[in-house]
Structure 1
Amino acid sequence: MTPGDVKSSYWRGVRGGLPFILVIVPFSTLFGVISVDAGLSVIEALSFSVAVIAGAAQFTAIQLLRDDAPTLVVLASALAVNLRMAMYSASLTPHLGKMPLWKRAVAAYLTIDQNYAISIIEYERNKAMTTAEKFAFFLGAITPLAPLWYVFTLVGALLGTAIPTDTGLDFAMPIAFIAMIGPALNTGAHRTAALAATIGSLIFAFLPWNLGLLVAAGLGMAAGAEVERRAGARA
């Protein structure tokens, strides 16, 4: 391995991440607008994106904050939405698990749907990559995305201060979730999980503080896991 190999891997990652800018910019801007509409200050909205950097969990938390849910419920719901990150981490461990602790911490913080997807595909396609090259690719993939997530959260928050609070921004929340979830429904397990979670959320909508979301998430994960188990057994 040479420094040139690591640098080449980094720039391949950057090129792989560039198309996702079309997703990151509108969603981060929308989060900033909705955060301010929910009562957060501009600094709080920006800090939220920097600390969490997880779109679906952030949208969930903001909705619960708007509903005056207890902090514990907000945290539990956001964690439930982000449970997929545990699966991402398990998948990345064979590739990045031998790195020093600080590098693993950086990778954990910067793991999002988009850079995970393109990184794991690259690792499986190019099995000769060293750990250093894999880490460089991972950092390259997130380079066009994370800074724009922060910047356009700030842009959205600044725009949000100029938008009256009675303009009905609530409509953006379900649209945002539909746009994030729709492209992911590409397997039978995913579709089953989404259907079970949808039905569960309707059945348990009567629960306070959107606790029905946690119940529905559990039902969805269980249903999806069962479909995958049966598919594996048949295979």
Structure 2
Amino acid sequence: MSTISKSAFWLGLRDGAPFVLVVGPFALLFGVVAADAGLNALEATAVSLAVIAGAAQFTAIGLLADHAPTFVALASALAVNLRMAMYSASLTPHLGAAPLWQRALAAYLTVDQSYALAMSTYPKHPDWETPQKMGYFLGTVTAICPFWYLLTIVGALVGNQIPPEFALDFALPITFLAMVAPMLKTRAHLAAALVAITLSLVLTWMPYNLGLMVAAIAGMMAGARVEMMTGGAK
């Protein structure tokens, strides 16, 4: 930890720890869904380790379980994860000067929680340099990621033994609402969200959840257009 700030790391760990309360049920639910789709515990864990993107994992596994073509499952998962490209672009001014191995690690660990925390915290510390920013970023996922891997295994092993009244599926919408709502600060953000939400509801008739892909792309286009028209005004 010589090239990152220890104090910023511990601050990130503190800020990221509460997300374990929603990541845990989310990971358990993915393990259950993966087991239902025919994956064993090792395969389910390999998916979590390789992809580390819950929404994309659920999308791909769900489509494959419904016997959708492989290319549709992959394309849908990619569409769901397109936001990571935007995350990376907005993180680059903060972390781009870090050593290559740190940037590679940050790229792997860029998840919704680490991004949301970083982008809300960095403006509060204008004096932070790259070591402090990288330390904070890595701290945010130190509690989250191990729980994601561990509870994926637990979910895959226990399968449907988890009572339905536990309602583990609440974790996904609650997590996204908690992270996205405070970030809707400009007209472009609101336009993108409104278009994506509206189209995702209107296009539910499309097979294999393709409506989500169309809605995501249309939302990004709408947000970009409003950004150009308003110049980023709030």
TM-score range, shorter chain: 0.7 to 0.9
Identity of aligned residues (%): 54
After superposition, the Cα gap between the structure-2 partners of 1:210 and 1:136, relative to the gap in structure 1 and judged at 3 Å, is: same
Q: State the one-letter code of the partner of 2:31.
A: G
Give the drift of 1:80. 1.0
CA distance in 2, matches of 1:13, 1:202: 36
After superposition, the Cα gap between the structure-2 partners of 1:59 and 1:191, relative to the gap in structure 1 and judged at 3 Å, is: farther
Give the drift of 1:227. 4.1
CA distance in 2, matches of 1:28, 1:197: 25
Q: State the one-letter code of the partner of 1:28.
A: A
Equivalent residues of 2:28, 2:168 under 8 A apart? no
Structure-1 residue corresponding to 2:118: 119
After superposition, the Cα gap between the structure-2 partners of 1:229 and 1:75, relative to the gap in structure 1 and judged at 3 Å, is: same
Q: Does 1:60 align with 2:59?
A: yes
Structure-1 residue corresponding to 2:8: 9
Structure-1 residue corresponding to 2:128: 129
CA distance in 1, matches of 2:133, 2:201: 43
Equivalent residues of 1:185, 1:191 under 8 A apart? no
Q: What SS does structure 2 have at the residue aligned with 1:103?
A: helix
CA distance in 1, matches of 2:23, 2:196: 25
Give the drift of 1:230. 4.3
Q: Does 1:75 align with 2:74?
A: yes
CA distance in 2, matches of 1:202, 1:14: 37
Give the drift of 1:76. 1.2
Q: Does 1:25 align with 2:24?
A: yes
CA distance in 1, matches of 2:28, 2:177: 20
Structure-2 residue corresponding to 1:182: 177
Q: What SS does structure 2 have at the residue aligned with 1:217?
A: helix
Equivalent residues of 2:51, 2:57 under 8 A apart? yes
CA distance in 2, matches of 1:16, 1:216: 32
Give CA-to-partner distance per residue, 1:139-193, whole Å, 9 cap, x none. Answer: 11110011010001111111106579xx8xxx976x5553344332453655544
CA distance in 2, matches of 1:189, 1:181: 18
Structure-2 residue corresponding to 1:103: 102
Judge which range, 85-94 or 117-126, deviates more: 117-126
Judge which range, 116-125 or 58-67, deviates more: 116-125
After superposition, the Cα gap between the structure-2 partners of 1:71 and 1:14, relative to the gap in structure 1 and judged at 3 Å, is: same
Aligned residue pairs total 230
Q: What SS does structure 2 have at the residue aligned with 1:99?
A: coil
Q: What SS does structure 1 have at the residue aligned with 2:143?
A: coil
Once the two structures are superposed, the pairs formed by residues 36-47 of structure 1 within 5 Å of their partners are 36-47=35-46
Equivalent residues of 1:81, 1:217 under 8 A apart? yes
Gaps of 5+ in 1: none
